[in-house]
């Protein structure tokens, strides 16, 4: 059954996501389409979500039996131009359930209406808000795709501002190089059912504004990574951002950082979104939960 489900999902994503989002159509249309596609994903049971403002507007998801003092600041993906807490509710609910934690997803501002540094300003505001209630060792930051890149940029900005660092970082298929220089950008384009160079190029150009694509403020692969907390990086073997993860991990290890890389054979970008359907996604979420529990301060 699992091979069949994987086959069906891969085909559906190629048609419904890459076949639509990858086209040069207005962001408002892409955003509405992504909401519709995301509505097919399954939420975890025993979780509840509420909207509010925590530095910036966002959503707060809790498992019924959450452990106080475990907080994940989660930054959604979408190429900095689409996506929202709503499109990632299934994924964040599974993270909350597996790790028995609270998850805050800020509704950060999107490009092209709000290019850099708007998203970073919003995620920093959310982190500062969490610091008013929680100790830094009780907070982790995570994100997928562009949200993974934004997670790194947020951690770097926290470091450079002299704020206390979060306990850990979780990076799912992170987009770390807006210059699209990785060998898998083109090498795996025909295999990846979700992403293509053309869409990433448009989204990156919209987000970075006047900054060059190699600027470390938008491409953390080119930043100095010293002082960052332990990192878990998960990526699929069949996605064009694979080399973004590999090069990031290689650089982090060369700098003596604590980083773990997990490459899921035969899977695609953000496969964890299919938790509750794909066994590989459930297992990956479980490993994220184990990683976080091992690093959070005792409740």
Active-site residue, selected from the candidate residues 27, 59, 239, 264: 239
The per-residue b/e assignment along 107-116, b for 16 or more CB within 10 angstroms, e otherwise, is bbbbbeebbb
Catalytic residue at 269?
A: yes
DSSP letter for each residue of 97-165: HHHT-EEEEE----TTTS-TTHHHHHHHHHHHHHHTTS-GGGEEEEEETHHHHHHHHHHHHHHHTTPPP
Residue 33 DSSP label: H
Max Cα distance, the chain (Å): 50
Active-site residue, selected from the candidate residues 63, 94, 269, 274: 269
CB 249 within 8 A of CB 261: yes
Catalytic residue at 239?
A: yes
Task: Give the separation between CA 171 and CA 139, rounded to whole angstroms.
Answer: 15
Catalytic residue at 145?
A: yes
> 3-state DSSP call for residue 232?
strand
Residue 60, CA distances (Å) to 38, 72, 235, 248 in order: 18, 10, 26, 30
Angle between helical axes of 146-160 and 118-131 (0-180°, round to 10)? 60
Active-site residue, selected from the candidate residues 84, 145, 219, 243: 145
**Catalytic annotation, residues:** 145, 239, 269
């Amino acid at each position: 059954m699992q091979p069949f489900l994987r086959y069906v999902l891969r085909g559906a994503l190629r048609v419904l996501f890459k076949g639509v989002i990858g086209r040069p159509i207005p962001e408002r249309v892409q955003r509405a389409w992504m909401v519709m596609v995301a509505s097919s994903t399954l939420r975890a049971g025993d979780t509840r979500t509420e909207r509010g403002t925590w530095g910036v507007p966002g959503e707060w998801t809790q498992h019924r039996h959450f452990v106080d003092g475990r907080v994940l600041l989660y930054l959604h993906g979408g190429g900095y131009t689409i996506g929202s807490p709503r499109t990632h509710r299934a994924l964040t609910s599974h993270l909350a359930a597996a790790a028995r934690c609270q998850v805050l997803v800020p509704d950060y501002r999107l490009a092209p209406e709000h290019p850099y540094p708007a998203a970073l300003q919003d995620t920093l505001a959310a982190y500062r808000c969490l610091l008013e209630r929680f100790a830094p060792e009780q907070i982790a930051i995570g994100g997928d795709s562009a949200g993974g890149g934004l997670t790194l940029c947020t951690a770097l900005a926290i470091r450079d501002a002299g704020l206390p660092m979060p306990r850990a970082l979780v990076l799912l298929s992170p987009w770390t190089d807006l210059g699209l220089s990785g060998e898998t950008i083109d090498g795996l384009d025909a295999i990846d059912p979700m992403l293509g160079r053309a869409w990433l190029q448009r989204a990156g150009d919209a987000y970075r504004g006047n900054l060059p694509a190699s600027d470390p403020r938008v491409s953390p692969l080119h930043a100095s990574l010293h002082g960052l907390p332990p990192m878990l990086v998960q990526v699929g073997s069949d996605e064009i951002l694979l080399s973004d993860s590999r090069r990031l991990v290689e650089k982090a290890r060369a700098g003596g950082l604590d980083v773990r890389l997990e490459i899921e054979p035969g899977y695609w970008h953000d496969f964890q979104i299919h938790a509750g359907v794909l066994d590989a996604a459930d297992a990956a979420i479980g490993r994220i939960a184990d990683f976080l529990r091992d690093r959070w301060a005792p409740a």
